[in-house]
């Protein structure tokens, strides 16, 4: 993910009960003690954070950097392995000839972290029933947070939220086929997949992941060809 917005690596989710029978599931990590409330054991928060790191969350495929502050400055290097000028270089040695020294070509990106929150009012009875509270809120809050986070990773604007893949300056869009006939709108055919696969740097293909909209899957399963790009265990993934 690029851009000036970031995501906390492990969102803190606390539940707190208040006088008057209202509880909250909060993503700001703030206890309600100052308001006369009490904090529910943090094991619930830990369980939600664990689910956010599951394969269902696209965050599990991201490079997660933990920080204790609300902003993060990281060095960036946009040079390529095949680049022959700028940045670190490699040379064939000649006998008695010095090796030219090179330096990294780095810049700095500053990310401002944004919190993802979920507020859930609950009754006194549900607060007292820790088993029901954990079973219901852990699952429901995690599902909502994962869905929101996944949407941001794919199409986030970068304003108050992460900048998504579709908004990235590194996005490559493959055009539809025009020969022998023009490809119909809203379809995916084998040449589209091959063209996307060839855009991926060879050394990155081992860890490449296909992110496929559910509407594409029926057509994808009908693709013809002895071998489909990146196919593993007979699955179109």
Residue extents of the structural domains in the chain: 5-70+111-166, 172-237
> What's the pTM?
0.67
Average pLDDT over residues 48-60: 83
Q: Is the pLDDT of residue 39 over 60?
A: no
* Cα separation, 121 vs 226, whole angstroms: 54
Q: Closest by alpha carbon to 230, among 213, 212, 205?
A: 205
Q: For residue 154, how many other CB atoms are within 10 A of its CB?
A: 15
**What is the predicted pLDDT for the residue at 60?**
87
Q: What share of the chain is helix, strand, coil (3-state, %, to 5)?
A: 30, 15, 55
> Confidence class of residue 56 from pLDDT cuts 50, 70 and 90?
confident
**What is the predicted pLDDT for the residue at 166?**
93
**What is the predicted pLDDT for the residue at 146?**
92
Q: Closest by alpha carbon to 24, among 119, 139, 108, 137?
A: 119
Q: Is the peptide bond before 180 cis (omega within 30 degrees of 0)?
A: yes
Q: Closest by alpha carbon to 217, among 196, 200, 194, 235?
A: 235
Residues 194-235: tens digit of each pLDDT: 899 998 888 888 888 888 888 887 776 666 554 445 544 333
Of 113 and 39, the one with more pLDDT: 113
Instruction: Give CA 109 to chain center in angstroms.
Output: 18
Percent of all residues in the chain with a pLDDT value above 70, rounded to a whole number? 70
* Cα separation, 48 vs 27, whole angstroms: 11
Residues 86-110: tens digit of each pLDDT: 999 999 998 888 999 999 999 988 8
Is residue 23 left, alpha or beta, with left meaning phi > 0 and alpha meaning psi from -120 to 50? beta
Residue 6's beta-bridge partner residues?
A: 113
DSSP, collapsed to helix, strand or coil, labels residue 34 as helix
Residue 157's beta-bridge partner residues?
A: 163
Q: Cβ contacts of residue 226 below 8 Å, gap of 6+?
A: none
**What is the predicted pLDDT for the residue at 154?**
93
118 and 27 in contact (C-beta within 8 Å)? Answer: yes
**What is the predicted pLDDT for the residue at 165?**
92
Location of structure tokens 């690596």: 9
**What is the predicted pLDDT for the residue at 233?**
35
Q: Cβ contacts of residue 211 below 8 Å, gap of 6+?
A: 58, 154, 165
> Confidence class of residue 8 from pLDDT cuts 50, 70 and 90?
very low
Residues 142-199: tens digit of each pLDDT: 899 999 999 999 999 988 898 999 999 889 998 888 888 888 888 888 888 889 999 8
Angle, helix 130-155 to helix 43-52, in steps of 10 degrees: 30
Q: Closest by alpha carbon to 52, among 121, 122, 131, 152?
A: 152
């Amino acid at each position: 993910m690029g851009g000036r917005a970031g995501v906390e690596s492990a969102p803190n989710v606390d539940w707190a009960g208040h006088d008057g029978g209202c509880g909250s599931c909060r993503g700001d990590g703030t206890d309600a003690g100052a308001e006369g409330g009490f904090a529910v054991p943090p094991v619930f928060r830990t369980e939600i954070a664990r689910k956010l790191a599951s394969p269902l969350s696209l965050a599990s495929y991201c490079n997660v950097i933990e920080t204790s502050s609300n902003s993060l400055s990281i060095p960036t290097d946009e040079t390529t392995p095949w680049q022959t000028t700028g940045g670190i270089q490699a040379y064939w040695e000649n006998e008695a000839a010095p090796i030219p020294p090179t330096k990294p070509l780095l810049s700095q990106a500053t990310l401002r972290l944004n919190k993802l929150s979920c507020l859930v009012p609950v009754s006194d009875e549900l607060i007292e029933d820790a088993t029901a509270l954990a079973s219901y809120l852990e699952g429901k809050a995690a599902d909502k947070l994962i869905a929101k986070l996944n949407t941001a990773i794919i199409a986030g604007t970068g304003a108050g939220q992460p900048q998504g893949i579709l908004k990235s300056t590194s996005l490559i869009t493959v055009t539809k086929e025009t020969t022998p006939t023009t490809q119909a709108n809203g379809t995916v055919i084998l040449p589209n997949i091959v063209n996307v696969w060839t855009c991926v740097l060879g050394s990155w293909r081992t860890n490449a992941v296909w992110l496929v909209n559910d509407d594409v899957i029926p057509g994808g399963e009908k693709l013809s060809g002895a071998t489909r790009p990146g196919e593993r265990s007979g699955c179109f993934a």
